[in-house]
Amino acid sequence: MMTIEDVYRKFDEIGCCSFATPDGHGGVEARIAHFFAYGDEGLYLRTMDVKPFYRQLKESGRLAVCGERTEAKVVFDEDNLPLFKPGYQMRVSGEVRELSMVEVEAKAAHDRNFNVAVHDIAKYPETRVLVLHRFHGELYDYDYAMARRDHKLYRERFAFGGDTFEEPGLRITDSCIACGTCLEGCSFKAIVPGEPYTILGERCDECGNCYHVCPAGAVEGKGR
């Protein structure tokens, strides 16, 4: 499973990501931000307490973050089909809490990233530091053209701070008749023959093709 450092490094490579919070009125708001540090307690961010972002974080205690890193933007071929360069997406969702100034200064004693936070607070006194301390998420690493490997997708899910996650991929039940129809319909090379056939969750895009073609109704969907 990915460590907290692994998760932070992946987000740091992306840079600016979408940070989404409940707006307190039945909707959701998003803005571009970044994590500035990580530690044993989680992933750290900062904002100002005069902003709606701060109010939403404090009122809901919830935060969802996502971002993507790729070599080039999507282009389209003569048939208007998208051509993706290899890349990856990261997402996390969980609970946040605010740090006291005492906590921030204690971390600054041994973490240069928190030195910057202390400097910011001195310059902008309404700056506040928060930590995403309990969350789950996913690395979604794609190579749809299979330019660098023999399959399109690798995905890994993880959790931190006592949170849990659902394993990726659809599932084939014991109702499978081992006919191979699902294998023929899967372009992600995620299905392994057997009795029953099985799905490699780390390769499964959950596109639903196997679910759609299975004559025995042996594939379990997740969205129903």
In a 13 Å sphere around the CA of 116, the CA atoms on its Cβ side amount to 9
Q: What confidence category does residue 72 fall into, taking pLDDT thresholds of 50, 70 and 90?
A: confident
Kindly report the backbone phi and psi dihedral angles of residue 7, in degrees, each rounded to the nearest multiple of 5, phi listed first. -65, -45
Cα 43 to Cα 132: distance, rounded to the nearest angstrom: 5
Q: pLDDT (tens digit, 9 = 90+) per residue, 123-145?
A: 999 999 999 999 999 999 999 99
**Is the pLDDT confidence value at 73 over 90?**
no
**Is the pLDDT confidence value at 224 over 80?**
no
Give all domains of the chain, ordered by start, each with its CATH number.
Answer: 4-160 (2.30.110.10), 171-220 (3.30.70.20)
Cα dihedral value 13, 16, 21, 23, nearest 10: 180
Helices 101-108 and 112-123 pack at an angle, to 10 degrees, of 130
Q: What confidence category does residue 1 fall into, taking pLDDT thresholds of 50, 70 and 90?
A: confident
Q: What confidence category does residue 213 fall into, taking pLDDT thresholds of 50, 70 and 90?
A: very high
pTM here?
0.94
Would you state the structure tokens that stand for residue 206, as one six-digit string? 């959950």
What's the CA angle centered on 64, arms 111 and 58, to 5 degrees?
A: 75
Kindly report the backbone phi and psi dihedral angles of residue 54, in degrees, each rounded to the nearest multiple of 5, phi listed first. -65, -45
Query: In the predicted model, what is the mean pLDDT of the chain?
Result: 96
pLDDT of residue 71: 86
Q: pLDDT (tens digit, 9 = 90+) per residue, 21-36?
A: 999 999 999 999 999 9
